[in-house]
A = this chain, B = another copy of it.
């Protein structure tokens, strides 16, 4: 049945007013081009509902008229999930106007919000109430809570506070047939039947559109310490991690691996950034501890330095003595990403392994890359406290764009095989979307495929909602 886009337009304009519908393709770019410059297809039009009920009405209309649709949050995803389908055509439902903080309850350590709230806004509101919403991502100034839920977002603080799944107490979701499910419970414990909200977390919008969430808050940290530690190799970084978990008493909130090559990328992007050490070291760890009360963080970190030095895991270390110095250490982490971006075409991966398997994976993966392309540069950093590595590759500068792409494609396949061999995941935190679908499906057992298909069929038998993401249409 051909889509009657004129009728859709009439319906949306009546429901949302003219400001609620974007129909001028010249205005689409902001919604169709992602931060990396990748362009999805154009939607037929973009609906901008401002209430959960409006989202429900739109979805019900699409359900009745078999109109494919896709929801979009802050559009900072990395796997093309929120990009419109370039072939089939879709109505895009942008949640940017659904941005009320509904209720902040510091006594319950919870906060109820619309799904279009920007993460940074939520974090700031929590802090004003002497609370803390721990999710921390590079994109936090633009990404939205609904997207964080739908992608089960990770980021820097997972090792202490968990991924988004662990930060959600309740959800409100518009189901693919337009029914509005109210699961906005603000309960820290609730064992009534199957936990439906778990299905929507990480489902990338394929089972429903999240319109609201009750978030779990923590006490606001009052003090924090940032340290950069130089270690001889990755094995030492991992040993130091085990020690850091113990010495820092679960107050460790970040533990990032930064090999020397990444440090140099940071200096390329920010030439004024000082090297915190006199000598270059093979591998660094950037770590942070924080506390909401009278914890002696310096003693913990000294204990870690001493134990690490005794066991020859630590070559050198610097403990930031001021907030400015701490910010400078964190700037290494950020500038390194800019430096990588400045080098042009490269392969970004997002793999996870058992922490105990990281060293062997690193060796096997490096060997596989070097064997195939000796002058491809390995930029492997990540949240190693979670076993999560961004094992990225910079192809040789001498190749043209097509040759680079072909090489990176081949190397990605080889890497993913090694991830499998080491019982890892090809998507630790970014999800599947469309970009990783082929690799995802290649690994899925028949049992898993039938269960996933069954779930999609149960929620969206017409295959209208975010179709083609995670599973093929």
Contact = CB atoms under 8 A, between A and B. Distances in A.
Nearest 3 CB-CB pairs, A to B?
A198-B198, A107-B356, A249-B291
Interface of A: 105-110, 130, 151-152, 154, 158-159, 162-163, 165-166, 175, 179, 181-182, 185-196, 198-199, 201-203, 207, 218-220, 222, 238, 242, 245-251, 291-296, 299-300, 303, 352-357, 383, 385-388, 423-432, 440, 444-445, 447-448, 451-452, 454-455, 458-459, 470-471
B198 A199 contact: yes
A301 to B, nearest CB: 10
A207 B454 CA distance: 14
Contacts of A303: 293-294
A314 B155 CA distance: 39
Given A192-B440, A300-B293, A250 B219 contact: yes
A432 B107 contact: no
A470 B250 contact: no
Given A192-B427, A198-B198, A249-B251, A300 B292 contact: no
B354 A249 contact: no
B246 A388 contact: no
A293 B246 contact: yes
A153 B357 CA distance: 30
Question: Which of A166, A191, A448, A452 is packed against the most chain B CB atoms within 10 Å?
Answer: A191
Nearest to A239: B107
Contacts of A110: 354
A206 to B, nearest CB: 8
Given A189-B429, A193-B452, 11 more contacts: A107-B355, A165-B195, A182-B445, A187-B387, A192-B432, A193-B444, A193-B471, A194-B455, A196-B448, A196-B451, A250-B251
